[in-house]
Amino acid sequence: MEPIRVEGIEAVYLFAAINAAVGFVLGLIPLGFGFFRGRTKLGVLGIVSATLGGAILGLFLALPAVVIFTWLIIRSDKATTSDPVETDTENPTDL
């Protein structure tokens, strides 16, 4: 059996495809968070950016994309569920 040889531009494409697959798997984290917290658009943007970032620079772009989009989903979820401060309109001079 002859060994498989990958040379030149084929090696670059194979490396990008493997890193894109790793980015896709990591991108499932913000997608899951976004789906279950009602922020599907941010989840989809997270998986797309992690996949493309993984294809371009591997984990150097995929991991920060996952962390940033997961943080955005969690932060926006807390901002929408927090109760607004109630103001008393009867006595506006009350401090």
Tell me, what's the pLDDT at 93?
66
Tell me, what's the pLDDT at 46?
96
What's the domain range around 50?
Answer: 35-76
| 58, part of any domain | yes
| 51, part of any domain | yes
| 25, part of any domain | no
Tell me, what's the pLDDT at 25?
97
| 26, part of any domain | no
pLDDT in 10s for each residue of the chain, 95 residues: 889 888 899 999 999 999 999 999 999 999 999 999 999 999 999 999 999 999 999 999 999 999 999 999 999 866 665 555 555 566 666 55
How many Å apart are CA 21 and CA 70, to the nearest integer? 19
Please tell me the total count of domains within the chain: 1
| 81, part of any domain | no
How many Å apart are CA 51 and CA 65, to the nearest integer? 9
Tell me, what's the pLDDT at 4?
84
| 30, part of any domain | no
Q: What is the DSSP secondary structure assignment for residue 13, as one 8-state letter?
A: H
Separation in Å, CA 10 to CA 5, 16, 21, 26: 10, 10, 16, 24
